[in-house]
Amino acid sequence: MQEPNEKVLDRSIRILLVARYTMFLDCLKLLIQKSRGINIVGTHLMTSELDSHAVRDSDVAVFYMSHGDRIEVISDLLRTNPRLRVILLIAGGDIDSQAEALKLGAVGIVQKEQNPNLLIEAIRQTHQGKTWLNQVSLSKILDRTNGKKSQKPSFQLGPESLTARELEVVQMIGKGLKNKMIAEKLSICGATVRHHLSTIYGKTGVEDRLNLIIFAYQNGLIDFTGETEKAPSADALN
């Protein structure tokens, strides 16, 4: 009989939970730990010092953001583990924090008002390298970023102006990768990544990573999962 062993463990998604209050961490544990193939390996209270070992041992971090929390904890997490995939769990009305989270490197946003099963699916999808953000959230972020609901970013040139390597960089930005990870995947130095980004910004007319993500989405260069509010069934997620 085959032993239930390291192969099963190797397939599990290792989760770090981040929140201000112990009650929120416990609730997230109850929701997440019953799902197959997902293993909670650490927790972090916003009021305590970040455990670098737990961060490095994790694949996905779920950050339950409360009012007054530092959104910059996303940067702290990614500095410690550049390969970490960060999901923000937040009130749907806090558009500014959602936009800032994407700028800082979050690859998923789940709103507290949504079906809890969507968080499980977001964990699975972002672990596979996808970005979890629905169209409604993207539209609200776009409206807030540009100050007027009817206004859209004024891009100078389309994707056809980008070289093959620049398109690769854009697609990796869309997946939430930071410069260091892009450099490793493309076997180039960080300075070259920064040069590519500067050129991309110049060609497209965007000013930051958030608007580059929007540009990439609007031009079909990246896809977002989480497009619908319909949640997978619990049987499908467990």
Domain count, the chain: 2
Rounded Cα–Cα distance for residues 134 and 169 (Å) = 22
- Let me know if residue 166 belongs to a domain: yes
Query: Whose CA is closest to 206, among 167, 156, 164, 162?
Result: 156
pLDDT of residue 226: 63
Tens of pLDDT, residue by residue, the chain (238 residues)? 344 444 434 579 999 999 999 999 999 999 998 899 999 999 999 989 999 999 999 999 999 999 889 999 999 999 999 999 999 999 878 888 988 998 898 999 999 988 889 999 999 999 998 889 877 777 777 776 665 444 555 556 778 888 999 999 998 888 778 888 899 999 999 899 999 999 998 888 887 888 888 888 778 887 766 654 444 443 433 4
pLDDT of residue 88: 96
On whether the CB atoms of residues 214 and 153 are closer than 8 A, the answer is yes
- For residue 79 the two structure tokens come to 């500095």
Q: Which domain holds residue 38?
A: 6-130+224-237
Residues 15 and 52 in one domain: yes
Residues 208 and 230 in one domain: no
Domain CATH number, residue 176: 1.10.10.10
Residues 121 and 233 in one domain: yes
Residues 181 and 122 in one domain: no
Cα distances (angstroms) measured from residue 131 to each of 41, 45, 192: 22, 25, 24
- Let me know if residue 148 belongs to a domain: no
Residues 27 and 89 in one domain: yes
pLDDT of residue 218: 78
- Let me know if residue 143 belongs to a domain: no
Residues 188 and 205 in one domain: yes
pLDDT of residue 175: 79
pLDDT of residue 60: 97
pLDDT of residue 34: 86
